[in-house]
Homo-oligomer: A and B are copies of this chain.
Amino acid sequence: MTDHTRISDLPKLVGQTATLRGWVMTTRSSGKIGFIMLRDGSGYLQAVISRGEVIDEIWERFEQLTQETSVAISGEVRADRRSPGGVELGVRDLEILGKSEDFPITPKEHGTTFLFQHRHLWLRSRRQVAIMKVRHELVQAIRDFFYQRDFILVDTPILTGSIGESAGTLFETQYFDLGKAYLAQTGQLYLEAAAAALGRVYCFGPTFRAEKSKTRRHLTEFWMVEPEVAWFDSEDNMKLQEEFVSYIVGRCLDRRREELKELERDTAPLERVVPPFHRISYTDALERLRALGAEVPWGKDLGGDEETLLANSFDRPVFVYNYPKEAKAFYMKENPADPRTVLNNDCLAPEGYGEIIGGSQREDDYDRLLCRIREENLPEEAYGWYLDLRKYGTFVHSGFGLGIERTVAWICGIPHVREAIAFPRQMHRLFP
């Protein structure tokens, strides 16, 4: 079957003949000349068929083509400036490989529910292809960033006995005779153990929240990348974050400009994503929010609306740091300068996208950590191994988590995270 060329390789073959395999998007015909818009995943191609230059049987096949018919087309590759990729194909031969009758997704408008019910077919649209390619680039950029900096990938478990953050929002499953296992909400705790072994580590996998949330920022299953670094304090952590976010955004701008154009993304705000990011303490952020008309009592976490409001007042991502202890997770290190707060930060994306990163320096003092576990009424025995990390050569360390779908949505400029993953999972959506 490797007797065919991919559309993306055609510009190298001008003047030669080639065979392509792909799917028909649209056709039009003057009766004498016909046009086929073809896609094969690698790109888009206009094929031109002249009634006078092919035998009748080939022209008749052309006339049978419908949306999403799969075909093999052979012909001459011709330079054509107006065509996508700068080439078109002069059809000599056309073979129908798979018919397509009444393809459900037509060029007309469809409702969101209908489209997600047909997600397996909707993925073929230009817009979805573009989003998937940006996501693909983003993920590889993330892995390259850490690989180049000697971070060791450590895949942390999904099935966990101990618990990450919010016990109320866990999916659970029966695990043989060992009782319940929970789907991981984070790999962080395991990563901290790995950081003591390998220094700089990261995990990158699916995470789960059984949240009954219907916002445009939440999925029940989403991918998260989490680096963890031995001997990094909160300040180092924020520097790593701004370097990281700038790199991955820059990489998508560099290599996926065509897809961003397809998505009609204004790239100017993305071009501004370079260090240093803005920094504002939680306490100062409340003041700024007050000036913007939003009153948040000290001690309360910021909600999505407040994040949007705050982030919109900056021209690039902003770090909000040192949140109140009561609003954040038990493992965050107490701020020695103000013990009501912790050494953490969120990173908020501009243009209304809000939180894409949560990070912190971790509590490395055995007694203080034990005290926090008890204060939160967490099952102490499940955290025995985690406490061990503070017992045997404790170490300053920090890390963060970046949500992939939120970052894809931001870079692509799409309103909802559900389009940022091939088969989204929401509380009301488990198919296809």
Residues of A within 8 A of B (CB): 1-2, 4, 6, 8, 21, 23-24, 40-42, 68-70, 97-101, 103, 118, 120-121, 123-124, 128-129, 132-133, 135-136, 139-140, 143, 147, 150, 152-162, 171-176, 178, 181, 183, 190, 193-201, 205-206, 208, 210, 212, 220-221, 223, 230-233, 235-236, 364, 385-386, 388-396, 421-423, 425, 427-428, 430-432
Give the chain B neighbours of A208 by CB distance below 8 A: 158-159
In the bound assembly, the distance between CA atoms of A232 and B210 in angstroms comes to 39
Assuming the A-B contacts A6-B199, A123-B194, A394-B70, are A153 and B139 also in contact, with contact meaning beta carbons closer than 8 angstroms in the complex? yes
* Partner of A161 from B140, B154, B422, B431 at Cβ < 8 Å: B431
Contact across chains for B197 and A128 when beta carbons are under 8 A apart: yes
Assuming the A-B contacts A97-B394, A206-B206, are A152 and B133 also in contact, with contact meaning beta carbons closer than 8 angstroms in the complex? yes
How many Å from the CB of A48 to the closest CB on chain B? 21
Assuming the A-B contacts A162-B431, A199-B41, A430-B161, are A156 and B423 also in contact, with contact meaning beta carbons closer than 8 angstroms in the complex? yes
Contact across chains for B2 and A236 when beta carbons are under 8 A apart: yes
Contact across chains for B198 and A132 when beta carbons are under 8 A apart: yes
Contact across chains for A132 and B197 when beta carbons are under 8 A apart: yes
What are 11 A-B interface contacts by the 8 Å CB criterion? Answer: A8-B150, A41-B195, A42-B150, A124-B196, A129-B197, A129-B198, A155-B421, A160-B430, A161-B432, A171-B175, A205-B205
* Partner of A190 from B132, B150, B173, B422 at Cβ < 8 Å: B422
Contact across chains for B385 and A230 when beta carbons are under 8 A apart: no
* Partner of A221 from B157, B235, B390, B425 at Cβ < 8 Å: B157
Assuming the A-B contacts A4-B231, A132-B154, are A193 and B123 also in contact, with contact meaning beta carbons closer than 8 angstroms in the complex? yes
Contact across chains for B197 and A152 when beta carbons are under 8 A apart: no
Contact across chains for A136 and B152 when beta carbons are under 8 A apart: yes
Contact across chains for B68 and A212 when beta carbons are under 8 A apart: no
In the bound assembly, the distance between CA atoms of A158 and B128 in angstroms comes to 21
In the bound assembly, the distance between CA atoms of A210 and B200 in angstroms comes to 32
Give the chain B neighbours of A392 by CB distance below 8 A: 68, 98, 100, 103, 121
How many Å from the CB of A281 to the closest CB on chain B? 20
How many Å from the CB of A269 to the closest CB on chain B? 25
* Partner of A428 from B98, B174, B178, B190 at Cβ < 8 Å: B178
Given contacts A98-B394, A178-B430, 17 further A-B pairs with CB under 8 A are A1-B235, A40-B199, A41-B152, A97-B395, A98-B393, A100-B391, A103-B392, A133-B198, A136-B154, A140-B143, A173-B173, A176-B212, A176-B428, A178-B428, A194-B422, A205-B205, A385-B432
